Amino acid sequence: MKSGFVSFIGRPNAGKSTLLNRIIGTKLAIVSDKPQTTRNRILGVKNYPEGQVVFLDTPGIHRPLHRMNVRMVDAAVDTIGEVDVLGLVVDVTEPAGKGDRFVLDLLKHAEAPVFLILNKIDLIKKVKLLPLMQQYGDMGKFAEIIPVSAGTGDNVDRLERTIIDHLPEGEPRYPADYLTDQPERFFASEIVREKLLQFTHAEIPFSSAVVVDRFEEPPEGGDRKGVLKLYCTIVVDRESQKPIILGRGGDMIKRIGIAAREDLERFFDTKVFLDLHVRVKSEWREDDGVLKDIGL
């Protein structure tokens, strides 16, 4: 039986989160076209007839210019020496640059086999794929080069089979019904944050955050499912950003809330009551544990 850890690393927006969600078969990581959307290492477990694979989605590796960025990049880099297979995910629609070379330099001394995962192949012409494989192949030493589309699922099954082939023999690390190490509060806050980024676009910086103030699970028992009650605070950097999220007459925060509630109900498989508020980061004390918990 095979068992091991696999880390997806790469530049921001390469599609690591979409790939994790595709493989696991459920939404564990939020997706946005904003850089640095993924802030935490997210673990997802998948069981196969041949064994168990523990996948890690990591924040995009970039030049850190903010305290939060430093923590995010450290979370990604730390996995390089801790896993059995490394998957370098590259967006084939973007030209190779200094950022790619920086990541490749980090991988030079990795002991684990490194896969080059050329993602988003559905967005380029097929005739461009072979030259890209040659170009990136010349830039580093890879155990495998596998083109995929995390969005459509094209060739992802081959990637999974190849990963299993490279894993060591061993017993499963987690029970058969184990999915992730993140608590339910984490997924609730991330789903709300995804909708915040989706609806506000460039008007709200990536450093905004969502705090779950109260998480009230529905009562157990009975023939009908209860209501999960969530009370969340959207945290922004400046007072001037609050009206953007609230919108005229509260229309923006209502849109965010409606879209988030729909995803929350799918994720938790129950009715959800969602209450959203907006606060400025400065309204908390600098030593407040809430800010530390979200990396601000």
**Cα–Cα nearest to 158, from 195, 117, 128, 102:** 117
- Band (pLDDT 50/70/90 cuts) for residue 255 is very high
pLDDT at 290 over 70: no
Please tell me the predicted confidence (pLDDT) of residue 78.
65
pLDDT at 285 over 70: no
DSSP calls for 105-128? HHHTT-SS-EEEEEE-GGGS-GGG
> What is the per-residue pLDDT across 176-217, written as a single tens digit (0 to 9) for each?
999 988 888 988 998 998 899 888 876 665 668 899 999 998
- Band (pLDDT 50/70/90 cuts) for residue 31 is low
> What is the per-residue pLDDT across 238-250, written as a single tens digit (0 to 9) for each?
888 899 899 999 9
pTM over 0.85: no
Number of neighbours of residue 214 by Cβ within 10 angstroms: 10
Please tell me the distance from the alpha carbon of residue 28 to that of residue 253, in angstroms, as a whole number. 24
Question: Which tokens hold the place of 185?
Answer: 């509060």
Please tell me the predicted confidence (pLDDT) of residue 66.
46
58 close to 38: Cβ distance less than 8 angstroms: yes
C-alpha distance from residue 167 to each of 2, 77, 289 (Å): 6, 20, 39
Q: Could you give the angle at which helices 184-200 and 251-268 cross, rounded to 10 degrees?
A: 140
